[in-house]
């Protein structure tokens, strides 16, 4: 039997310290990082997504950042194709691929044989659904695909419409083939007490505001990114767009964002908890993490 190639996965909720840990590991094991973040693939979405800077990369090559135009949606199928090419290239050069991110759907698409078929847009259905409130859309999705409803952003109409579109097209599949791992992957999950994570989320949000997150959103809009498309990108950009259209105040934006990001972190954990292969550790346990990785690689 052909031996599966080894790679490392660093995952966990937002603000748990994944990027810093991935860089630390990469420097120790001659690795390269592949981002698994559904919004960091887009060019120009830097401060709002918490995209790692060149300085923070500390010389470690990073892949799958800034590979798509934010005006157009990148599908999970497109991401999987690009990430698989990056993995093969890193292996070929004798380096260790390190998948790092919080988008569970992307991680599963790359590392397993889970099927993510391309469902073409149904324009007639979309026009019908776009007239419904987010509450009605969410209830409809719960009926069609209760599993997806547990991990989706329930306030994002674009994602709700797309999920309903997919569920309606594919229907319920009574027998699914077993999902197999494509690689010999070591899953490291970062976990923090809820209060500590909430504090980190708040501190990081204020830091992003100071770095110019509002100015970034203004610049994106000036470059042709519509308010509707910006809102569909979710989280920071949804509320930045609402603030810049004078729909909410600055204080309301920060308050709503804090709540939305905490809810997002909970949805991330719901997704990750399905994977029983994840070794959960505290971000502070660097030595223990490195010991686990060294044993895995050697």
What SS3 string covers 126-165? HHHHCCCCHHHHHHHHHHHCHHHHCCCCCCCHHHHHHHHH
Closest by CA to 207, choosing from 257, 148, 154, 173, is 257
Residues 297/290, Cβ–Cβ less than 8 Å: no
- Tell me the pTM: 0.87
Region 44-57 average pLDDT = 97
pLDDT at site 223: 97
d(CA 198, CA 204): 10
3-state secondary structure of 186: strand
Predicted confidence (pLDDT) per residue in 117-169, tens digit: 677 888 889 889 989 998 999 999 999 888 888 888 888 888 889 889 888 88
Q: Do the Cβ atoms of 109 and 79 come closer than 8 Å? A: yes
pLDDT at 116: 66
- Is the confidence at residue 176, as pLDDT, over 60? no
Q: What is the pLDDT of residues 196-251, one digit of tens each?
A: 999 999 999 999 999 999 999 999 999 999 999 999 999 999 999 999 999 999 99
Beta bridge partners of 100: 10, 35
Report how far residue 217's alpha carbon sits from residue 111's, in angstroms, rounded to the nearest whole number: 33
CB 58 within 8 A of CB 27: yes
Instruction: Specify whether domain 6-115+177-297 bears CATH 3.40.50.10490.
Output: no
With a CB cutoff of 8 Å and minimum separation 6, the contacts of 217 are 48, 230, 237, 240, 241, 244
Under 8 Å between Cβ of 264 and 293: no
pLDDT tens-digit series, residues 60-113: 999 999 999 999 999 999 999 999 999 999 999 999 999 999 999 999 999 998
- The pLDDT tens digits for 213-223 are 999 999 999 99
Give the CA distances from residue 115 to residues 5, 33, 106, 112, 178, in Å, rounded to whole numbers and listed in that order. 21, 24, 12, 9, 10
- pLDDT, tens digit, for every residue of 18-42? 999 999 999 999 999 999 999 999 9
């Amino acid at each position: 039997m052909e031996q599966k190639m080894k790679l490392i996965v660093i995952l966990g909720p937002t603000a748990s310290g994944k990027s810093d840990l991935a860089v630390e590991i990469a420097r120790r094991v001659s690795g390269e990082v592949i981002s698994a973040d559904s919004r960091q693939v887009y060019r120009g979405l830097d401060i709002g997504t918490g995209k790692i800077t060149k300085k923070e990369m500390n010389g470690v090559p990073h892949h799958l950042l800034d590979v798509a135009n934010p005006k157009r949606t990148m599908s999970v199928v497109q991401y999987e194709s690009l990430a698989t090419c990056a993995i093969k290239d890193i292996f070929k050069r004798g380096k260790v691929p390190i998948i790092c991110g919080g988008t569970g759907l992307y991680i599963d698409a790359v590392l397993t044989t889970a099927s993510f078929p391309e469902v073409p847009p149904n324009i007639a259905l979309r026009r019908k659904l776009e007239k419904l409130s987010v509450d009605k859309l969410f209830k409809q999705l719960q009926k069609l695909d209760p599993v997806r409803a547990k991990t989706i952003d329930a306030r994002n109409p674009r994602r709700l419409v797309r999920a309903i579109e997919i569920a309606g097209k594919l229907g319920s599949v009574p027998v699914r083939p077993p999902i197999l791992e494509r690689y010999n992957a070591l899953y490291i999950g970062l976990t923090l007490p809820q209060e500590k994570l909430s504090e980190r989320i708040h501190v990081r949000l204020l830091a992003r505001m100071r770095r110019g997150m509002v100015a970034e959103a203004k610049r994106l809009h000036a470059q042709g990114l519509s308010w509707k498309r910006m809102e569909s990108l979710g989280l920071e950009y949804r509320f930045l767009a609402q603030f810049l259209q004078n729909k909410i105040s600055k204080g309301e934006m920060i308050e709503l964002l804090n709540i939305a990001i905490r809810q997002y972190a909970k949805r991330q954990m719901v997704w990750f908890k399905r994977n029983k292969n994840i070794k959960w550790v505290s971000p502070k346990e660097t030595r223990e993490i490195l010991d686990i990785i060294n044993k895995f690689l050697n």
